[in-house]
Amino acid sequence: MRIVRDTSWMRRGISLLWGRESFGTLIRDGRVSEVKSFVRMSDEWPATLPAAGGRAVAVVGLDACLDALSPADARTYLEEDLGPCVLSFQTHYEGQRGLVFWLPGGRDRIHMSVADETYEWRCPPPFSNERIAICTHLWGGAAADVRRILAPDAPENDLDGPGWHGLQQTWIS
C-alpha cells in the first residue's frame, strides 16, 4: 500500500479527502465548487482554478449525489457522468493540477477490500448491505495506483488510524 504525506495531493492528481485539517489547508486561500459547478466548468476549463493558489478545484457534494441515488445509478453516474469530467480535467491540465472531492464522512464510509485492495463506498439505508467500488468507477483501470493520504505526523504503521485523510490518484492515462 502506497502513501503520500506531503501536500502534493493538493496541487496534482485526483483526491478523495475527509481530513478536516487537510481540507482547511486546501481552501485557506480559495473557494469550493459544488459538483454541478465542476461539471459545468468542464465545458471550458479555466486557466486559474479556485483553490490552492489557483492550482486546484475543491468539489463538495459528491457524497450527497451518491447517497441520493440507488447503488446501480450511483455507479452509472460515476462512470458515465462524472468520470468523463475527471478524465477531461486530467487531460486538460496534463496531471499538473489538483481535483479534490471533499467527503466529510469518507473516513467512515470508504473501506478497503483486503482481498483485492480496492476501495468501496458504503451505501446508506436502505442499501446498507451494498458497496460501490468508488475508485474503480471513478478512475477505471487507474484505481490500482491509488495512494492513501496520511497526515504528516501520522504513524506509518497505522494506515487506518485518525491520520488517514483520504485517497489520491496521481495520473489517469
Give the span between the Cα atoms of 55 and 74, in whole angstroms: 28
Q: Identify whether the C-beta of residue 171 lies closer than 8 Å to the C-beta of residue 142.
A: yes
- DSSP for 2-56 reads -EE-SSHHHHSEEEEE--HHHHHHHHTTS-EEEHHHHHHHTTS--SS-SBGGGTE
The better pLDDT of the pair 91, 161 is held by 91
- Residue 164 — pLDDT band, cuts 50, 70, 90? confident
Cα torsion for 133, 137, 17, 92, to the nearest 10°?
170
**pLDDT tens digits along 55-94:** 999 999 999 999 999 999 999 999 999 999 999 999 999 9
Give the span between the Cα atoms of 126 and 130, in whole angstroms: 9
Task: Read off φ and ψ for residue 62, nearest 5 degrees.
Answer: -65, -40
Task: Give the Cβ contact number of residue 143 at 10 Å.
Answer: 19
Q: Which structural domain range is residue 84 located in? A: 3-169
- Residue 173 — pLDDT band, cuts 50, 70, 90? very low
Domain count, the chain: 1
Give the span between the Cα atoms of 146 and 166, in whole angstroms: 10
5, 61, 164, 172 from 37: Cα distances, Å: 29, 10, 28, 22
pTM, entire model: 0.91
